[in-house]
Structure formats: structure tokens, C-alpha cells
């Protein structure tokens, strides 16, 4: 059995951030983490209060016979203004004098427990967690049950890490922004371009993360227990990161009301209403001139009012500072910005703006204490639902044995199998028969891909199996890199790759892009393979002794029209970024152990498409008089390389209509 102790203080000391995260200046309010909380399993442990020299019976917020709302109110009412303000940032300071420990709200679990965000860490105790395929890949399965099952596995590992003092309970995932433009760098994090599919992914993944078995239909949703807390982000109309100098911190998305309701808001509405998510994160950008994190219509009226969110609203990190300093939305003081956002419905600041300026805003009469109390009540009710105060017996036995388990690794493999898309299979080239294909040339910049397969917002994987490793399980491999990396800046390594293809029974050419081309803060400028990759493909395919299989790793579509029409390339597979077991899944499909069934979750446009409209143009519908082509499969009917939903299988289906003659006797008598 795992040690059920939950270490509360070590969580607060985790300050690791991603390379893409904004740097936080030194906070002005010190954290008090001196109290010995780390030997107890939850806040309202009577022995813990005794150890602190406090009488637990005096604290109604520890009385489990009361409702969570009553308890949260009692907790908040006990705090001074200074103490309240110190809880409004993602590094909540706690209040030692009443036994409230600090808490770090920021953890991530986009496709596995991540070490992005200071609430989670990996070390000798927990060296890694299962890294599932990126969201765009699992979205290609169009399998709602799979999405929920992955969420259940991720939350089990998250809860186990919490028990081991290596993670929090609040995870700011998933990313459910619709892919409006094929150049968007964060396409890999999302479920694609269809708002209904994105919404279904959101509600199922969130249910997998949050639901506690047997309590899914609790009538009082403010008391419904949570396994972990999920967060749907980034709300709303966010899909420009950094394109030709236009970045997310300054971008103003000009959106029609129809597009907003039907496309950009729909997945979030489904996440709140169907998924009962416990948090929503607002984004950096403005929508029609107003920063999303300061817009009462988007936050208070829509999320809280119309959709009835049972949880809290959090900012993307430093969003308030961004719209004050960079976007210059409010030409007033920092205290004015606090008042604007709190009144708009923003409960928690990922950053230090609230902790630094809220007390001054209150003392200047710009915002009321009641606005702070309202937000804190939402926050602490979520922590109570998580068992942070009372513990949760359902999960106390989870430990190291539940992280990187064989079951979860197999699930990651199966998710990759289901997400891989067969784009071309001339003459039924695939699957290869290992009885006849004894040697395989595996060439290209992704032939030996490892970390590239897990994408971004990933933690430390349990293990990594490259395409090269996978193919080696079925045949002898002749490996040549073909290019040093995806940039493929010269043709130096093409000729050795050609030699390998000449001397093998079949050839796999593994190409594509990675986080150096598409990522957070990095949008693409074209839809082409980088550098000499096209030449590598064409020259190797022209001399290959056996059939050629083109394998593409990417999130967004790539114009591979040349390969689609090249008779020397018999088969094409798209694998997205297939996670830690991606190489195994790819090889199993190539050699027929499984049949591909994935379908593209985004349109693959021809390269010229991006010359017809800037990435910053938001309208979805075409405007013929202006030559504006429209966006996504719903509104664009021009030429494509592959349409949304496209995918082949090894099985041929014949559809026929059948009819049968039937006679029906009807008694017409009285």
C-alpha cells in the first residue's frame, strides 16, 4: 500500500516553469510555509490542529456536517483583508493562525500530468508519468469513450502524485480553442476545427478528470465531489500566438456575434453545461476591444450567469498585467484594473497582480470586500469538493504503483493507434507482411523521434519508443537520418538515405514538423515541409527497392500534394504527435497488427490558402466579392489536400440499400 500522507507544504515550494511561461517578478506578500503541515493528510485533520496548538472545534469550516458553502463562508469571514488578498494569486499564501496551509493552484494535465506550472514536480520519488498522445492526435479517433478514459487515467496519476506530495489537485486543462487557421502554433493542444467535436472532447475529458464514481449525478452540483479539478481554456476567440509580429498579448479579435456564439463560445458552453467543469480560464487577447479577463458580459453574465458555472474563473498568467501594460486597455491605475476584473467575475489571478494591488483598491473605495469574499468562496468550495479539507477515502491508497502502470502505458499506445490516420494506400500496400519484408529503411528527421512525439505541456514520460524502435520489432532496420532535424537545411544526408532505400525491402520516410515550427508563441507562416524535406522524400522514393511509406508527424496540415500524386509513394500515414508509445503504435499499424481508423480533425489546405487571408482575420464565412475564402470545413469549399474527417482503413466497405416486401393486415372493424 502507498503511504497515504499528503504533503501540503512541498507543493508550495515548486517553482519550475516552462520555457514559454512569463517570468513572475518577486511578490510583495511573503508566503508563510513554516507550519508543519506535511505530516498530515488533509487540512481538517484533528491531530494536525492539535499539533498546531489549535482547537479544531472552534473552526466551523472544519465541521463536515455543514454545507460547503457554509464552511467556505466561515473560513473567509475569519480572514483579515490582508489575509484575503494573499489568497487571490495562484500561490495562495494560506493563513497559519487559523490552520489554513498555502496552496498552489497551477498544475497542468493536457495529455498527462505535466511539469509545466509550479504545482507539480518530478524527482526520484516520481520520475515520470504516462504521456498520452497530444490532443489533436486523440481527437482524430473521434472516440468519446477514449477521451474520457484518458482523463480517468490522468486523474488517477495526478491523485497518486498528490498523495506523494508531488502535485496539486487543480489542473488548468484542457485547451479547447477551435482551430480557425491552419497556421496556429497551438493546434497540437486542441481537438481541431469543429466546435461540436471540440465541445464533446472537452466534456468527456473533463468528466474523466473530475468525476468520482457514484457521485456523477449529485443534485447539488456545488457539493459534488471532485477527483481533480479541471479547467477549460482559453476563453475566448483565442487562436493567434505570434504571427509576423502580431502576438496574443496585443491581438484584438474582431468577431461577429454569430461566429462568437456558434463557434468560439460553443465548446466552452458544452464544457460547463455537459462537463460540469469546475474552472474556466480567460485568455490574453481582447475580443472586440475588451480584454476577455475584464469583460463582465463574457465572465459574469455568460459563464457564471447563463451557463451556471460551479467553480471559479482564473486568468491566463499575468493577463491583468498584460492588458494594463501592453494593451493599455485601462488608462487608469493598477487599483482600477483590479476593480474592473473582480467586478467582471475574475476570481483568481495566475500571477501577482491581485495580491499586490487588491488591498489598495479596497482602501481607495474602488472595489468592495464583498467582491473578494465572493471569489474566495468559489475557490474554497472547489478545494472542499476535492477533499483538500476533509480527505477522500476513494483515493487515499493511490501511490507510485498507479503511475506509469502497464494499464496506462497500454492505453497510451491504444490512443495512438486510434488517432493515426491513413491518408493513402495505393494497391493495398499496407499492411506490410513481416514474412516477406525482412529489411526496412527508416529514414528522415523523425525516424528516431522521441521527445518530439510528446509535444508540449508534457511531463516526463514513463519511457519513449521511436518509430525506429517500433519498426525494429518487426524487421531489420537500415537507419539514416536524411536530415539533421526538421529544419533540414541541406541535402548532405539525403544520399545515405537513398542508399538505405536501395538496399531494403521497404522504406519508411519519417518527416514533418515539431515545436521548433509550431508551438505556443510560435505560429507558422506557411503550410510546407521545411527545408530539404520535400527533396529527401522525392529522391528516396525514386530509388527505393520496395514500397515507400511516408510518415508525417505534425499537428497542423501540410501541403503534401506532391506526395499524394507521386506513384513512387504508395502509402501515407499521419501520426500527429503520438505520445510516448508512438513508435510502437506506428509500427503495429504498418505491419498490420492493428488497422488504422483515425480521421483528420482539421482540414489540410493547399499551400496557397494562407496567401488569401491574413491569420488575424477572424470572419469564418466567405466573402466572394472580396475574394475572402472562408475558414474551416464548414465555410470553405475551395480545393484542399485532404478534407476534415478524411481517413482510410485496411478494410473495404460496400454500401448497399436493401428492400423487403412486407404485407400488413389492419383490422378496420369496430
Q: Report, as residue numbers or ranges, the catalytic residues.
A: 316
Residues 95/29, Cβ–Cβ less than 8 Å? no
Q: CB burial class (10 A; 0-12, 13-18, 19+) of residue 26?
A: exposed
Cell numbers standing for residue 282:
480567460
Residues 609/182, Cβ–Cβ less than 8 Å? yes
Q: DSSP secondary structure string, 474-531? A: TSEEEEE-SSSSTT---STTHHHHHHHHHTSSEEEEEEE--TTTSBTTB--S-SS--T
The residue among 347, 38, 66 whose CA lies nearest residue 164 is: 38
Q: Helix or strand or coil: residue 618?
A: coil
DSSP label at residue 263 = I
Rounded distance between C-alpha atoms, residue 319 and residue 300, angstroms: 17
Q: Helix or strand or coil: residue 138?
A: helix
Rounded distance between C-alpha atoms, residue 458 and residue 112, angstroms: 7
Residues 172/114, Cβ–Cβ less than 8 Å? no
Run of H or E including 290: strand 290-291
Rounded to whole angstroms, what are the CA distances from 209 to 158, 213, 222, 415? 9, 11, 17, 17
Rounded distance between C-alpha atoms, residue 252 and residue 317, angstroms: 18
Run of H or E including 353: helix 353-363
Cell numbers standing for residue 166:
508531488
The residue among 303, 169, 328 whose CA lies nearest residue 235 is: 303
Residues 345/371, Cβ–Cβ less than 8 Å? no
Rounded distance between C-alpha atoms, residue 291 and residue 141, angstroms: 35
Helices H / strands E in the chain, number of each:
20, 18
Residues 293/249, Cβ–Cβ less than 8 Å? no
Secondary structure of 107-127 as H, E, C letters: ECCCCCCCCCCCCCCCCCCCC
Q: Which residues pair with 246 in a beta bridge?
A: 243
What ranges in 14-134 are assigned the alpha helix state H?
Answer: 46-51, 68-77, 81-85
Residues 325/288, Cβ–Cβ less than 8 Å? no
Give the rounded distance of the alpha carbon of 331 from its chain centre: 34
Amino acid at each position: 500500500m502507498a503511504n497515504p500522507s499528503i504533503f501540503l507544504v512541498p507543493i508550495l515550494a515548486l517553482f519550475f516553469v516552462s520555457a514559454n511561461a512569463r517570468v513572475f517578478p518577486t511578490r510583495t506578500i511573503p508566503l508563510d510555509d513554516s507550519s508543519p503541515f506535511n505530516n498530515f493528510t488533509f487540512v481538517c485533520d484533528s491531530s494536525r490542529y492539535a499539533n498546531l496548538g489549535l482547537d479544531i472545534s472552534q473552526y466551523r469550516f472544519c465541521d463536515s456536517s455543514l454545507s460547503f458553502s457554509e464552511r467556505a463562508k466561515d473560513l473567509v469571514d475569519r480572514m483579515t483583508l490582508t489575509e484575503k488578498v494573499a489568497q487571490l494569486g495562484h500561490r495562495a499564501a494560506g493563513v497559519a493562525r487559523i490552520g489554513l496551509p498555502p496552496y498552489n493552484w497551477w498544475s497542468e494535465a493536457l495529455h498527462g500530468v505535466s511539469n509545466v506550472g509550479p504545482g507539480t514536480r518530478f524527482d526520484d520519488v516520481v520520475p515520470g508519468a504516462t504521456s498520452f498522445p497530444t490532443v489533436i492526435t486523440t481527437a482524430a479517433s473521434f472516440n468519446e469513450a477514449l477521451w474520457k478514459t484518458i482523463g480517468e487515467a490522468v486523474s488517477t496519476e495526478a491523485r497518486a502524485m498528490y498523495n506523494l506530495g508531488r502535485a496539486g489537485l487543480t489542473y488548468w486543462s484542457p485547451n479547447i480553442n477551435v482551430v480557425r487557421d491552419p497556421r496556429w502554433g497551438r493546434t497540437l493542444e486542441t481537438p481541431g476545427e469543429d466546435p461540436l467535436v471540440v465541445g464533446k472532447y472537452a466534456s468527456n475529458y473533463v468528466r474523466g478528470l473530475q468525476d468520482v464514481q457514484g457521485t456523477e449525478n449529485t443534485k447539488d452540483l456545488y457539493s459534488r465531489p471532485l477527483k481533480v479539478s479541471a479547467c477549460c481554456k482559453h476563453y475566448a476567440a483565442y487562436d493567434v500566438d505570434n504571427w509576423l509580429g502580431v502576438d496574443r498579448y496585443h491581438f484584438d479579435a474582431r468577431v461577429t456575434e454569430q461566429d462568437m456564439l456558434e463557434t468560439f463560445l460553443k465548446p466552452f458552453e458544452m464544457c460547463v453545461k455537459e462537463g460540469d467543469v469546475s474552472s474556466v480560464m480567460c485568455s490574453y487577447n481582447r475580443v472586440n476591444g475588451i480584454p476577455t479577463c475584464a469583460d463582465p458580459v463574457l465572465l459574469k453574465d455568460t459563464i457564471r450567469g447563463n451557463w451556471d458555472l460551479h467553480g471559479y474563473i482564473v486568468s491566463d498568467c499575468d493577463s491583468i498585467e498584460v492588458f494594463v501594460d501592453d494593451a493599455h486597455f485601462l488608462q487608469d491605475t493598477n487599483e482600477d484594473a483590479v476593480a474592473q476584473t473582480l467586478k467582471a467575475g475574475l476570481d483568481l489571478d495566475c500571477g501577482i497582480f491581485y495580491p499586490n494591488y487588491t488591498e489598495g483598491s479596497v482602501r481607495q473605495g474602488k472595489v468592495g470586500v464583498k467582491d473578494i469574499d465572493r471569489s474566495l468562496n468559489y475557490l474554497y468550495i472547489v478545494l472542499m469538493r476535492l477533499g483538500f479539507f476533509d480527505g477522500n477515502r476513494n483515493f487515499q491508497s493511490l501511490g507510485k504503483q498507479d503511475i506509469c502502470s502497464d494499464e496506462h502505458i497500454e492505453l497510451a499506445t491504444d490512443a495512438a493507434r486510434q488517432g493515426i490516420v491513413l491518408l493513402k494506400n495505393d494497391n493495398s500496400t499496407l499492411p506490410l507482411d513481416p514474412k516477406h519484408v525482412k529489411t526496412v529503411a527508416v529514414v528522415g528527421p523523425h525516424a528516431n523521434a522521441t521527445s518530439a512525439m510528446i509535444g508540449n505541456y508534457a511531463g516526463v514520460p514513463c519511457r519513449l519508443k521511436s518509430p525506429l524502435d517500433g519498426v525494429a520489432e518487426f524487421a531489420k532496420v537500415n537507419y539514416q537520418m536524411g536530415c539533421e532535424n526538421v529544419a533540414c537545411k541541406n541535402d548532405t544526408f539525403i544520399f545515405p538515405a537513398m542508399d538505405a532505400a536501395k538496399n531494403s525491402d521497404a522504406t519508411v520516410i519519417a518527416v514533418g514538423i515539431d515545436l521548433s515550427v509550431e508551438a505556443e508563441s510560435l505560429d507558422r507562416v506557411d503550410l510546407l515541409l521545411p527545408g530539404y524535406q520535400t527533396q529527401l522524400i522525392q529522391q528516396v522514393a525514386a530509388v527505393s527497392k520496395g514500397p515507400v511509406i511516408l510518415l508525417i508527424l505534425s499537428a497542423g496540415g501540410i501541403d503534401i500534394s506532391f506526395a499524394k500524386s507521386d506513384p513512387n509513394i504508395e502509402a501515407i500515414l499521419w501520426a500527429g504527435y503520438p505520445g510516448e508509445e508512438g513508435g510502437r503504435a506506428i509500427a503495429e499499424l504498418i505491419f498490420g497488427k492493428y488497422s488504422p481508423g483515425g480521421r483528420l480533425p482539421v482540414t489540410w489546405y493547399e499551400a496557397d490558402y494562407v496567401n488569401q487571408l491574413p491569420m488575424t482575420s477572424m470572419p469564418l464565412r466567405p466573402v466572394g466579392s472580396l475574394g475572402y475564402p472562408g475558414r474551416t470545413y464548414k465555410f470553405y469549399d475551395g480545393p484542399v489536400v485532404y478534407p476534415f474527417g478524411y481517413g482510410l482503413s485496411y478494410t473495404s466497405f460496400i454500401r448497399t440499400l436493401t428492400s423487403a416486401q412486407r404485407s400488413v393486415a389492419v383490422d378496420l372493424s369496430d
